[in-house]
Amino acid sequence: MARAHFLNTLSGRFLMLTTVFVMLAEVLIFVPSVSRFREDYLRLRLERAQIASLALLASDDMISEDLERELLANAGVFNVVLRRDEMRQLVLSSPIPSAVDASYDLREPTAFSLVRDAFTDLTDSRNRVIRVIGEPVRQAGLLIEVTIESGPMRREMIEYGLRILGLSAVISVLTALLLFLAVQRLLVAPIRRVVAHMSSYAEAPEDARRFIEPTARVVELREAEDALQSLQTQLTGALRQKDRLAQLGSAVAKISHDLRNILTTAQLFADRMEASEDPAVKRAAPKLVNSIARAINLCESTLTFGRAEEPPPRLARFMLAGLVTEVLEGERPAAEAGEIEFVIDVAPNLTIRADSEQLHRVLLNLVRNARQAIEATKKAGTVEVGAGEDDGYWWIRVGDTGPGLPDRAKAHLFQPFQGGTRKGGTGLGLAISAELVRGHGGRLELVRSDEDGTEFMIRLPKTVTLAEVAA
């Protein structure tokens, strides 16, 4: 089990792969090394045979048979043939135990032929008689030819190969061990440090003291530590915000509960006002009743916010111009102190299919934001609501001549508690509006915002599927 666990670690696999790759490299070196050893072995036999033949040439071809056998034995050959002055001469000879099985020419060998012949001699276990042809050293002739046994050469080749393999194994193990120690120090230890910080942070993500401090010198590891630190910072901030939102939601729910009861009482008195004969009261009472009813619905929606999202829209056809007029009339009293002009650019007969209550909330939020933006400049301005239809969707445009949105607000425009544009604002209005529009299968987007003003666009599809409404 311990061995299997070690091989599954980064260090274990690195050690194993390093050993295998070094051995593979040594094997690739082994092939030309053995062929080179065989070539040197045969050339050495040719040189010894040439030296032995010099003794016969110095004695005018008169040596004893015992001396001839001794010279051939020292050279490790059966006979020696020299070609000098275009004449082929058998210089030294002895009985050959069998016929010549193969001939090898070392005068101009190719790398392929050397490797091929070396493997032939290694794989053939027979003690064959072979002929070797080469060039005499120091230009002592045109050609020298000897016959030898392949058995002794094969044994020395095997011994040399085993030495090479043994040395390769030692080198591979030492190399793997050194690399293993280096990887442990340079890679594994920093990775374990990152993992330890991740585990520690997971135990208490609210504790900022558990953030990792990047210290790695390796670029990739430093980038990983920086990314982890950034992730920890963002996640802890998000968790703290979620906690604050949960506490805020609990408080808002309690306030909404009490406010709903108060508004219910106010609604009863507003209903009685509708029976008044005073013309001014008759004109104001329906608007007051509608406003109180919307406030009660908003309180009830707030109470259910912690349990579910916004309810799906109840789609119905209605004249958009009347809804826009109602929204703007509700904002005119608040704008009487300033010089703000409200403009309606909606065709009287434009009919759309949507949830009028939810769309009223969306338009009221956009128009109120526009009015407050202009009032903050203490200058005159215009709020304009336009609408129309194109192939496949209706569009509603809300624009103003205010100072435009700051960059901070643009970056988090539709995120709760982050897209606020004025002091004291929560940033919930646009987030809720975007959610309500998405419930219709449409989208709310910022068209432009600069020093000339701000413009939002609502796009509502004419055909809304159940999947889009549920989303």
CATH number, domain with residue 446: 3.30.565.10
CB of 455 closer than 8 Å to CB of 399? yes
pLDDT(334) > 70: no
Same domain, yes or no: 321 and 431? yes
* Residue at 199 is within a domain: no
Return the percentage of the chain with pLDDT > 90, whole number: 14
Q: Is residue 86 part of a domain?
A: yes
Please count the other Cβ atoms lying within 10 Å of the Cβ belonging to residue 178.
Answer: 11
Question: In this structure, are 149 and 261 located in the same domain?
Answer: no
Q: Does residue 313 sit in the same domain as residue 371?
A: yes
Q: In what order do the strands lie in the sheet with 340-345?
A: 340-345, 381-390, 393-400, 453-461, 443-450
CB 180 within 8 A of CB 18: yes
The position carrying tokens 């070797």 is 132
Whether 8 and 66 share a structural domain: yes
Residues 303 and 331 in one domain: no
Count of domains forming the chain:
3
Residue 424 banded pLDDT, cuts 50, 70, 90: very low
280 & 339 share domain = no
Q: Are residues 8 and 142 in the same domain?
A: yes
Residue-level pLDDT at 462 = 87
Shortest CA distance to 303 belongs to which of 364, 250, 243?
A: 250
pLDDT surpassing 80 at residue 292: no
Indicate whether 423 pLDDT > 50.
no
SS3 63: coil
CB 53 within 8 A of CB 91: yes
User: What would the pLDDT profile of 127-143 be if each residue is shown by its tens digit?
Assistant: 898 899 888 876 656 78
Same domain, 385 and 436: yes
Same domain assignment for residues 255 and 321: no
Give domain status of residue 192, yes or no.
Answer: no
Q: What is the pLDDT of residues 437-471, one digit of tens each?
A: 998 889 999 999 988 899 999 999 987 544 444 44
Do the domain assignments include residue 197?
no
Domain termination residue (choose one: 259, 280, 308): 308
Regarding whether 326 and 246 lie in a shared domain, the answer is no
Q: What is the pLDDT of residue 396?
A: 95
Q: Domain of 126?
A: 2-177
Both 297 and 356 in one domain: the answer is no
Lowest-confidence segment of 237-251, 291-305, 413-427 by average pLDDT: 413-427
Global model pTM greater than 0.75:
no
Residue 193 belongs to some domain of the structure = no
Helix (H, G, I), strand (E, B) or coil at 419: coil
The span from the CA of 210 to the CA of 235, in Å, is 13
Residue ending a domain, among 177, 196, 213, is: 177
Choosing from 292, 308, 324, the residue where a domain stops is 308
- Whether residue 267 is found in the same domain as residue 316: no
Non-local (6+) Cβ contacts of 417 within 8 A are: 241, 245, 426, 427, 428
Provide the percentage of residues in the chain whose pLDDT is more than 70.
74
Whether residue 331 lies inside any domain: the answer is yes
Residue 464 lies in a domain: yes
Best CA proximity match to 109, nearest among 117, 119, 101: 117
Per the structure block, which two tokens stand in for 430?
A: 């646009």
Residue 285 within a domain = yes
Instruction: Find the range with the poorest average confidence among 1-10, 369-378, 392-401, 438-447.
Output: 1-10
